[in-house]
């Protein structure tokens, strides 16, 4: 898996990702402390609103950014967005009003919503081989998991030496380092033929997901992951403190179990995907999520004992592993479903739509826990995850080749796209090639859907 780091351009971009994530982790801790300073006991409300603002920024900004990504120099765009994030982070020590926190969070996350899909669309151009790209996806998953595990520890160490406002300087330094690394990296150019008007690019991303069966299935699986993940991220503190009557360290341990499961799956996935393919890995992982949520419902119904506590840690680790087994190959599914000119729009649409799932499940997990209790919350989220995975199974054809036979009745004879086509028996022109939704193919072939 580490062999892809021999590619200099990718190595620099991956390093940029790691240092930017470290900075983001420091900001997460510092924002919590800043919210407590400004709001006291209402800090959780402030952070909850900030999280909602983050998701709104992701859902609304990403498609617009994807529309313009290939019309701007890729390297300058990525470095510029890092500089925006660094600048916003530098203003945070001077924030003294709650509305200023909300504004800063929106600006920071809007820049991230533009940066991340553009970054994701760049990697398959640097690593065109399927095995290399799979390894890069697993490394990216590991980077996210390690950030969630080690950034709090790094922040805790820093806070023994400096006040929490200084953590924002660390955040800014991470983004500046990322900008320097990106600025010094030679990135491939996007073919001019792939450049279309921004509105058409925005529409292209959403049209890809509406018309491509495997992408509709991917979105359903994203909803299953969001249902299970919401229980972990929203309700862990309640599960640990109120049901198991354990201290803050146990909350960290439970979240760490989730991260450990995700990392273990990410390490194994390149070899597993080589043997079995995306659908054969992602759908069973999707079905594992409601099964584990059912177990979580049982564990939170039973009396709190050492055995049920161990069971909860195992359940959280399994949710992490199953989520990683869905999310990590998702980039492969997007890549094979779009041509080079539409990759940025496709990743932007996936980024936006998947975070829309979290925007639904985050408040749902909180409201259900408050109204119905933890066992019912786990059970109902499990029903949502099961429904989403069953839908994904129905949407994603078992036979899903890249090349599809199809007939064109909408293109005239002599059209350049029909250079290798032959007359079809029932009229039109028949040929086969790697099939994606584009200006020449606006619907999925009926027999293949």
The whole-angstrom separation of Cα 312 and Cα 236 is: 10
pLDDT of residue 193: 43
Residue whose C-alpha is closest to residue 14's, from 142, 113, 128: 142
pLDDT of residue 192: 47
Per-residue pLDDT for 213 more than 80? Answer: yes
45-68 per-position pLDDT tens digit: 676 677 778 888 888 877 776 666
Confidence of residue 39 (pLDDT cuts 50, 70, 90): confident
Per-residue pLDDT for 196 more than 80? Answer: no
The whole-angstrom separation of Cα 14 and Cα 139 is: 8
pLDDT of residue 290: 97
The whole-angstrom separation of Cα 72 and Cα 189 is: 10
Q: What is the mean pLDDT of residues 242-270?
A: 85
CATH number of 7-190: 1.20.1250.20
Number of Cβ within a 10 Å radius of residue 163: 11
**Residues in CB range of 350: below 8 A, 6 or more apart:** 117, 209, 215, 218, 219, 330, 334
**CA dist 37 → 33, 53, 358, 398 (Å):** 6, 20, 28, 54
Tell me, yes or no, if the two domains 7-190 and 198-396 fold the same way.
Answer: yes
What residue ranges do the domains of the chain occupy? 7-190, 198-396, 403-448
pLDDT of residue 277: 87
Confidence of residue 41 (pLDDT cuts 50, 70, 90): low
pLDDT of residue 1: 58
Per the model's pLDDT, the better-predicted residue between 345 and 103 turns out to be 103
pLDDT of residue 259: 84
Sign of CA dihedral 343, 345, 351, 357: negative
Per-residue pLDDT for 186 more than 70? Answer: yes
114-163 per-position pLDDT tens digit: 888 888 778 888 888 878 888 887 788 777 767 666 666 676 677 777 78
290-339 per-position pLDDT tens digit: 999 999 999 999 988 999 999 999 999 999 999 999 998 988 898 888 88
pLDDT of residue 48: 65
Confidence of residue 359 (pLDDT cuts 50, 70, 90): confident
Per the model's pLDDT, the better-predicted residue between 388 and 188 turns out to be 388
Give me the chain's average pLDDT, please. 83
pLDDT of residue 342: 75
Element (H, E) at 105: helix 98-126
64-89 per-position pLDDT tens digit: 766 666 667 888 888 999 999 999 99
Per the model's pLDDT, the better-predicted residue between 386 and 412 turns out to be 386
CATH number of 198-396: 1.20.1250.20
Most confident stretch, 144-148, 162-166, 243-247: 243-247
3-33 per-position pLDDT tens digit: 788 888 888 988 988 888 888 777 877 776 7
């Amino acid at each position: 898996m580490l062999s892809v780091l021999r590619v200099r351009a990718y190595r620099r971009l991956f390093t940029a990702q790691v240092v930017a994530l470290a900075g983001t982790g420091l900001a997460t801790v510092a924002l919590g402390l800043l919210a407590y300073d400004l709001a006291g006991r209402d800090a959780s409300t402030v952070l909850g609103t900030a999280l909602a603002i983050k998701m709104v920024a992701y859902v609304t900004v990403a498609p617009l950014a994807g529309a313009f990504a290939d019309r701007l120099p890729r390297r300058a765009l990525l470095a510029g967005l890092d500089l925006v994030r660094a600048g916003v982070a530098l203003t945070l020590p001077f924030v003294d009003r709650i509305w200023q926190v909300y504004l800063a969070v929106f600006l920071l996350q809007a820049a991230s919503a533009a940066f991340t899909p553009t970054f994701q669309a760049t990697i398959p151009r640097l690593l065109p081989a399927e095995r290399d790209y799979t390894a890069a996806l697993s490394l990216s998953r590991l980077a996210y998991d390690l950030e969630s595990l080690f950034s709090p520890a790094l922040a805790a160490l820093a806070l023994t030496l400096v006040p929490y406002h200084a953590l924002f300087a660390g955040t800014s330094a991470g983004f500046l380092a990322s900008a320097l690394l990106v600025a010094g990296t030679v990135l491939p150019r996007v073919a001019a033929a792939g450049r279309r008007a921004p509105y058409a690019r925005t529409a292209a991303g959403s049209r890809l997901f509406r018309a491509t069966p495997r992408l509709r299935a991917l979105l359903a699986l994203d909803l299953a992951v969001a249902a299970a993940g919401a229980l972990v991220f929203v309700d862990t503190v309640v599960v640990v403190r109120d049901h198991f009557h354990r201290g803050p360290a146990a909350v960290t341990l439970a979240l760490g179990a989730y991260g450990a499961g995700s990392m273990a799956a990410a390490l194994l996935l390149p070899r597993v995907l080589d043997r079995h393919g995306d659908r054969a890995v992602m759908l069973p992982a999707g079905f594992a999520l409601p099964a584990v949520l059912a177990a979580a419902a049982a564990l939170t119904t039973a009396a709190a004992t050492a055995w049920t506590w161990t069971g909860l840690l195992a359940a959280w680790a399994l949710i992490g592993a199953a989520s990683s087994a869905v999310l990590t190959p998702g980039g492969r599914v997007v890549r094979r479903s779009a041509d080079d000119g539409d990759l940025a729009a496709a990743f932007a649409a996936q980024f936006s739509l998947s975070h829309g799932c979290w925007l639904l499940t985050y408040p749902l997990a909180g409201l259900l826990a408050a109204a119905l209790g933890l066992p019912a919350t786990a059970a109902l989220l499990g029903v949502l995850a099961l429904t989403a995975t069953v839908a994904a199974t129905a949407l994603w054809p078992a036979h899903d080749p890249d090349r599809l036979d199809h007939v064109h009745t909408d293109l005239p004879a002599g059209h350049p796209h029909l250079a290798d086509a032959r007359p079809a028996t029932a009229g039109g022109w028949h040929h086969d090639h790697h099939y994606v939704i584009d200006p020449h193919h606006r619907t999925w072939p009926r027999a293949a859907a």
